Amino acid sequence: MESARVKPKNNIHTFPTQEQKERAAAWFETLRDDICAELEKIEAEYSAVAVAPFAGSVARSAEASHQQGAEQSRQKHVFQKKTWDRSTADNSPGGGGVMSMIKGNVFEKGGVNISTTFGEFSPEFRKQIPGAAETGSFWASGISLVIHPRNPHVPPVHMNTRQIVTTRGWFGGACDLNPVLPNDADTKAFHARLKQTCDAYAPDYYEKYAAWCDEYFFNKHRNEPRGVGGIFYDYHDTGNWDDDFAFTQDIGRAFLDIYPKIVRQHMHDPFTDADKHAQSIKRGRYVEFNLVYDRGTKFGLMTGGNIEAILMSMPPEAKWV
Amino acid sequence: MESARVKPKNNIHTFPTQEQKERAAAWFETLRDDICAELEKIEAEYSAVAVAPFAGSVARSAEASHQQGAEQSRQKHVFQKKTWDRSTADNSPGGGGVMSMIKGNVFEKGGVNISTTFGEFSPEFRKQIPGAAETGSFWASGISLVIHPRNPHVPPVHMNTRQIVTTRGWFGGACDLNPVLPNDADTKAFHARLKQTCDAYAPDYYEKYAAWCDEYFFNKHRNEPRGVGGIFYDYHDTGNWDDDFAFTQDIGRAFLDIYPKIVRQHMHDPFTDADKHAQSIKRGRYVEFNLVYDRGTKFGLMTGGNIEAILMSMPPEAKWV
């Protein structure tokens, strides 16, 4: 998928300044705050309706048997934060991150991580990273989110955007929907919203990045896609840092615009035990993808990253038949 | 762990005859039959006691909430067989196998696979396999078993033995216990039984193969062992095929002797929801090991093996917190 890389103007790669790196890191934190606030708002809206007597009785009866405790629906569901410091880990240079985790009625398990780390890639690894071959120095900042909703009609989602700096700098990210029970309207709305953002920057971004998403999030051993796609981009460097940063910000904003709409539309949908079983099976496929193929997960596991943060993407439960 | 390889006498490697290969393949089938019969016998014994009124009430009440249906306990639980043919898959030479799967009251999910396959390893892969560098030709036959019991006091187990033939032949295998709630007496009995078999062949086998097991079945990213060990051996070729075959047969017999004893001892143990939760978490670790590290699983996934047979090792369900 080398062809999907954006070519910098005049072949001059971006090398972000300290100030630019700080702006990127600050943005990922702001986006995290905005996403967490919106998802908490959804939890509050749901609980306000769901605990009312006689409300949503069909959905509630199926759901009740799956909830770990009846008191769940009366709790206030908010993100719990946990900070980790990379400098205390083995072979680690510096930086760290903050995990934010929610276990709610709508979002059975949701995690939003931000991190900013720096140091040197290992000799084996630096060959694979643009601009890292010589010294291996890197600086990386990003946000990573995985949501596993409770209701099988609310699609799980993954979103991640990042700035990486070696002897050059680029943005990368992904935003993809992984429904248990795919719904054409949701899939179309999700893609359309991402396309809208892509089209504002270049006419070919959506096509390239949507294709890259389909190629990347694919369980080869089952010959089946992980989800219904979205976008995946990497090595995004047009030579204009401000433009590329704005694009990455807008991908985050697009996610924050479209995903809550889809959630609100389905969070009260009735579901059956068979739907819940299908959800568990689908979650198993998600586990397979992340442990067998996902570059971020594999890299993290192999290089002694923060295990809790890396595996926050795992679903709350999964089944195999 | 190169040092754990057995050195053939006078450095002359075994090259099994057609008759020897057939004997090995026939043995794996016999062992499969004996194991399935014994595990089905355990299911029948369990049901005879468990469905009697008032019997095992503590265990039953905790278990009932986890069983998928009450009718389960009255069904006769036997292995279901499914044959697969390798010649129909992509890039495949020949052979095939038989999966045997049980979903019972004692064995929530258990699989026993046998397979005999032959052909040529891919050019990249053949360098890694002793005696395969030149032509890549191989013949392989073996049995592979993974049991995920329902009661968290009954330990999950893995057992696999095989004969591989390239321009030389050797045996390999593993037999390891993966308890949710480790019990010293079980661990000691399991190891003692394997040591008894090892000691009948050479004084250093147990120490070498138990150490290899601990090294191999280890979740490096969590810095924790997958289970409480057992033995792992590979490239086992003393230069005396009959001796090596007898050793591999006796490892299978040792499994068939000790594991059912451990199961019968614990299958009626009462357990709590907390125990069941611990079991789900432990199953997640099992998933992580198999998808991230296990050579057989990775090889199978990457080379288009029979997905259903390869992933039969997955637990029925798993949880991540």
Interface test with B, best of A279, A308, A320, A321 (most B CBs within 10 A): A320
Count Cβ atoms below 10 Å from residue A240 Cβ, excluding itself: 13
User: Which chain B residues have a beta carbon less than 8 Å from that of A317?
Assistant: 280, 317-320
Asked if A221 and B291 come within 8 Å (Cβ–Cβ), the reply is no
Residue B89: band (very low, low, confident or very high) from pLDDT cuts 50, 70, 90:
low
Asked if A284 and B320 come within 8 Å (Cβ–Cβ), the reply is no
Confidence at residue B52, expressed as pLDDT on a 0 to 100 scale: 52
Asked if A314 and B222 come within 8 Å (Cβ–Cβ), the reply is no
| CA B206 vs CA A311, B170, B213, B229: distances in Å | 35, 18, 10, 12
Residue B183 pLDDT greater than 70, yes or no: yes
Record the pTM. 0.89
Asked if A287 and B287 come within 8 Å (Cβ–Cβ), the reply is yes
Q: Nearest-CA distance from A98 to chain B in Å? A: 17
Q: Which whole number is the average pLDDT over A70-88? A: 76
Q: Nearest-CA distance from A314 to chain B in Å? A: 6
Asked if A318 and B288 come within 8 Å (Cβ–Cβ), the reply is no
User: Which chain A residues have a beta carbon less than 8 Å from that of B221?
Assistant: 301-302, 304, 307, 310
Contacts 24+ apart (CB under 8 A), B94-98: B94/B118, B94/B119, B95/B119, B97/B306, B97/B309, B98/B32
CA end-to-end distance (rounded Å), chain A: 34
Cβ atoms A40, A102 nearer than 8 A:
yes
DSSP conformation class of A123: H
Residue B150 pLDDT greater than 90, yes or no: yes
For residue B319, give the nearest of A222, A292, A317 by CB distance.
A317
Asked if B317 and A316 come within 8 Å (Cβ–Cβ), the reply is no
Asked if B318 and A317 come within 8 Å (Cβ–Cβ), the reply is yes
DSSP conformation class of A269: -
Confidence at residue B248, expressed as pLDDT on a 0 to 100 scale: 98
Q: Nearest-CA distance from B86 to chain A in Å? A: 15
Cβ atoms A204, A259 nearer than 8 A:
no
Report the C-alpha gap between A110 and B234 in whole angstroms. Answer: 42
User: Which chain B residues have a beta carbon less than 8 Å from that of A99?
Assistant: none
Confidence at residue A60, expressed as pLDDT on a 0 to 100 scale: 46
The reply to whether ipTM tops 0.90 is no
C-alpha atoms less than 13 angstroms from C-alpha of A31 in its C-beta half-sphere: 30
Q: What is the pLDDT of residues A184-212, one digit of tens each?
A: 999 999 999 999 999 999 999 999 999 99
User: Which chain B residues have a beta carbon less than 8 Å from that of A292?
Assistant: 291-292, 298, 301
Q: List the single residue in B with minimal CA-CA distance to A279.
A: B317
Q: Nearest-CA distance from A262 to chain B in Å? A: 25
Cβ atoms A161, A209 nearer than 8 A:
no
Asked if A284 and B314 come within 8 Å (Cβ–Cβ), the reply is yes
Report the C-alpha gap between B156 and B179 in whole angstroms. Answer: 6
DSSP conformation class of A89: S
Report the C-alpha gap between A96 and A117 in whole angstroms. Answer: 6
Residues of A with a catalytic annotation lie at: 158
Q: List the single residue in A with minimal CA-CA distance to B319.
A: A317
Residue A58: band (very low, low, confident or very high) from pLDDT cuts 50, 70, 90:
very low
Q: Give the SS3 label for residue A21.
A: helix
The fraction of chain A above a pLDDT of 70, given in percent, is: 88
Q: What is the pLDDT of residues B29-45, one digit of tens each?
A: 999 999 999 999 999 99
Size of interface A-B (CB pairs under 8 A): 58
Residue A300 pLDDT greater than 70, yes or no: yes
Which has the closest alpha carbon to A178: A238, A227, A140?
A: A227
